Structure 1
Amino acid sequence: MPLSHAPAPFGRALCAMVTPFTAEGALDLDGARRLAERLVDRGCDGLVLSGTTGESPTTSDTEKAALVRAVREAVGTRAAIVAGVGTSDTAHSAELAREAERAGADGLLVVTPYYSRPPQDAVRAHFTEIADASGLPLMLYDIPGRTGTRIEPETMIRLAAHPRIVAVKDCAYDLLGTQKVLARTDLAYYTGCDEQVLAWYAIGGAGCVSTVANVVPERIRSILDAFDAGATAQAARLQLAAMPLIEAMMAADLPGTVTAKALLNALSLPAGPVRPPLRAAGRENAEELLRIYEHLVSAAEFSRRPGVGTRTAVR
């Protein structure tokens, strides 16, 4: 029997989309439109813009708003658009929230304030002020490895009382804490760690915000689809088969933004360069990423042949 999940406010299979740039480093809005269309056509029902993978620290406020407008134009209502607006400055984040709403976003991704390392009462006040700044729902972004500050489970539980704080992008690597919040709130939990897509979904998560989906959106979607269909063993096989690519993209010495753009460029898909201080992947890294990607794709194609395994539908 298919397993059921609570409604996911921004869809289930979300991609943490890269921000395409031209060869000269300018914002490539045409490339963003084409990449967004491809991602939605291949199974993503939500796109997260201007997050970590989207190089938000190096894009201007004007570029962030233009990106939302371009992607909205490309995908229409076929996918939810969640705009990253988090900064280390509460007032600045609140203004970005209002601008994202004007640009046509469906929701906001708001990261914990970084560098200043505020205490938990200040973290709570920060998110509350941003939630009050617009009419859009919020996805809190808990990634202490980058920000230096955790959204503690008790803080998350208190924030869940706000009517516009509806979801979490979870990169805290705390299974116990995640389950504690899931058990005591209605927050929709999206894992931001590709190796956890199936595990988090199986304990009641809403889905994922995937960096790897930039290059294999249909594969990430198929894991969730198989689990929803009750084919849990198939979901596990799909997750494990994707692990070499997930490890190469997310657990190597290079940031996910760099590896995603390296693969997209190798596949002649919109991406372009990264902006400093990030640097492009070296030739050997790019070639190894492409080799692992091609192995995953060829294995998936083989499994779709008549009489070989079970094909999971990708909507």
Structure 2
Amino acid sequence: MASPTGTSDAPFGRALTAMVTPFASDGAVDYEGAQRLAAYLVDEQRNDGLVVNGTTGESPTTSDEEKVRILRAVVEAVGDRATVVAGAGTNDTRHSVELAEAAERAGAHGLLVVTPYYNKPPQEGLLRHFTAVADATGLPVMLYDIPGRAGVPITIETLFRLAEHPRIAAVKDAKGDLFAGSQVMASTDLVFYSGDDLLNLPWLSVGAAGYVSVVGHVVGAELASMADAYRSGDVENALAVHRQLLPVVSAIMTRTQGAIMVKAALKLVGQDAGCVRPPLVDATEEQITALREDLITGGLKLVD
């Protein structure tokens, strides 16, 4: 299925949010809620792409069947006007291939494949893992380089080799090494996306196509305005928006786990996505009080 927003220089779109998975009070997936949230993120928060079944979507605690149903629900809701990227990465190559194949059947436009976590494979293992997943479908692949969680980075040399694969198109970088990313972009056709909301503007400044955001749940429109300003040459305005959003980014991304805080933030702006699943726990009253203050400082209008 062709991406409705992808281009050669931004194959997954430019403004993507890693979408949470709404849960009902009993912990079941709220599929209608997922559709409502997806429409809100695309139509009101100016996202031209969504990542579903990623870490922010609590993928470690959703079943394969739930992942397929979530993906189908989101594709049905917004797949005609936004790129829908399916998280398909695990630390088991065979399982990742199965998830990739299921995502293609469910209508995904692309795949996000994270570095295998915990088992810390060598670089040759990473090369074989990513190649196996990319070989399994006809979908474009975004690699997810996040050594802080995976325990191992994707080295420049491995990225050079992976760039030779016709369907490995992009990197979501949460490594924070702008110089290394610049080297890869200068020497290959790999497209980079910021995978760290703290560095969205810096990544744009060295050539990234866009970002995969968490705070885009509540300030997606502002992030899009920042990126538009930067690309049009209005660096001063882009910097002003970047600075305006600092309290929001700090509140959601630095206090505790991101899915916990962004679900609390969504509730404060009137887009309740329910609870989190164990082993995550919902935000405390103290955290919510601080979050409310920071969102207001960042310019958000909250519901009573």
Q: TM-score, normalised by structure 1?
A: 0.91
Aligned counterpart in structure 2 of residue 17 of structure 1, from 5, 19, 40? 19
SS at match of 2:86: strand
- Looking at structure 2, the residues matched to 267 and 220 of structure 1 have their Cα atoms a distance apart, in angstroms, of 17
C-alpha offsets along residues 99-150 of structure 1, whole Å, 9 cap, x if unaligned? 0000010000000111111100010000000000011010000000001011
- Alignment partner, residue 206 of structure 2: 203
C-alpha offsets along residues 11-63 of structure 1, whole Å, 9 cap, x if unaligned? 11000111111111100111110110011012100000111111110111011
- Report matched runs for 1:98-117 at 5 Å: 98-117=101-120
- Alignment partner, residue 311 of structure 1: none
Amino acid at match of 2:228: D
- Alignment partner, residue 257 of structure 2: 255
1:215 aligns with 2:218: yes
Count matched residues: 294
Paired residues of 2:244 and 2:299 also in contact (CA < 8 A): no
SS at match of 2:126: helix
Paired residues of 1:34 and 1:270 also in contact (CA < 8 A): no
Amino acid at match of 1:9: P
- Alignment partner, residue 265 of structure 1: 267
- Looking at structure 2, the residues matched to 83 and 176 of structure 1 have their Cα atoms a distance apart, in angstroms, of 28
Structure of higher RCO (CA pairs closer than 8 Å, 6+ residues apart) = 1
Paired residues of 1:261 and 1:272 also in contact (CA < 8 A): yes
- Alignment partner, residue 3 of structure 2: none
Paired residues of 2:142 and 2:169 also in contact (CA < 8 A): yes
Aligned counterpart in structure 2 of residue 128 of structure 1, from 123, 126, 131? 131
Paired residues of 1:20 and 1:271 also in contact (CA < 8 A): yes
- Alignment partner, residue 73 of structure 2: 70
- Alignment partner, residue 285 of structure 1: 287
- Alignment partner, residue 297 of structure 1: 299
1:229, CA displacement in angstroms? 1.7
- Report matched runs for 1:1-315 at 5 Å: 7-41=9-43, 42-252=45-255, 254-297=256-299
Amino acid at match of 1:69: R
- Looking at structure 1, the residues matched to 293 and 21 of structure 2 have their Cα atoms a distance apart, in angstroms, of 24
SS at match of 2:245: helix
SS at match of 2:299: helix
Amino acid at match of 1:92: H
- Looking at structure 2, the residues matched to 43 and 235 of structure 1 have their Cα atoms a distance apart, in angstroms, of 16
> Which ranges in structure 1 are unaligned for 5 or more consecutive residues?
300-315
> Which ranges in structure 2 are unaligned for 5 or more consecutive residues?
1-6
1:266, CA displacement in angstroms? 2.5
1:298, CA displacement in angstroms? 5.4
Paired residues of 1:6 and 1:206 also in contact (CA < 8 A): no
- Looking at structure 2, the residues matched to 92 and 192 of structure 1 have their Cα atoms a distance apart, in angstroms, of 24
- Alignment partner, residue 4 of structure 2: none
Amino acid at match of 1:287: T
- Looking at structure 1, the residues matched to 158 and 99 of structure 2 have their Cα atoms a distance apart, in angstroms, of 23
Paired residues of 1:21 and 1:27 also in contact (CA < 8 A): yes
Root-mean-square deviation (CA, aligned residues, Å) is: 1.3
Amino acid at match of 1:131: A
Change (3 A) 1:80 1:109: same
- Looking at structure 2, the residues matched to 61 and 298 of structure 1 have their Cα atoms a distance apart, in angstroms, of 36
Paired residues of 2:246 and 2:298 also in contact (CA < 8 A): no
Amino acid at match of 1:214: H
Paired residues of 2:176 and 2:199 also in contact (CA < 8 A): no
C-alpha offsets along residues 172-209 of structure 1, whole Å, 9 cap, x if unaligned? 12122111111111111001111111110111101000
C-alpha offsets along residues 192-242 of structure 1, whole Å, 9 cap, x if unaligned? 111111110111101000000011111111111111221111001101110
- Looking at structure 2, the residues matched to 191 and 247 of structure 1 have their Cα atoms a distance apart, in angstroms, of 16
